[in-house]
Amino acid sequence: MSVSLEILGDRWSLLIIRDLMVRGYRTFKEFQESGERIATNILASRLKRLEAAKIIRPEADASDGRKVNYRLTEKGIDLAPVLLEMLIWGAQHEETGAPCAMVAKLARQREQVLAEVRQRWRERDSTPFLPAFDAKQP
């Protein structure tokens, strides 16, 4: 557990992984504008840390080689079950802004949700998996 916490133990790293996994974010700018109000120096640091841990990797944008898109690695997408459980737990025990029906559906259909997230990752589909909702701001 201490190894996992060393890599993922801060909220910013988990939010970046969440955004890559279910919100379809790929760029530094998208992460910065996600509504979480992460400082640019913290975001840059966390992206480097996640890259060093081989959770994410940077890729040159196909249309503009100067632009960097981030992508989860196989190791990163393997965190999907952990993040799903954290999302469900948080929504069940705290006010998150996530609609109750959506959370109940995620809880009932865990295996299907995880299969869909993994398939979208394999297909490089950056369409947001979760609908937009008013999340509680930190």
**What's the fold here for domain 2-122?**
Arc Repressor Mutant, subunit A (1.10.10)
Mean pLDDT of the chain: 88
In the chain, where the domains are located: 2-122
The answer, yes or no, to whether residue 137 has pLDDT greater than 70, is no
Q: How far is CA 91 from CA 12, 22, 77, 98, in A?
A: 18, 16, 21, 7
pLDDT digits (tens, 9 = 90+) for 74-122: 999 999 999 999 989 988 888 877 778 888 889 999 999 999 999 999 9
| Paired tokens of 118 | 């993994």
**What percent of the chain lies above the pLDDT cut of 70?**
94
Higher pLDDT among residues 3 and 44, named by residue: 44
Q: How confident is the model at residue 129 (pLDDT cuts 50, 70, 90)?
A: confident
Residue 71 CA to chain centroid, in angstroms?
A: 10
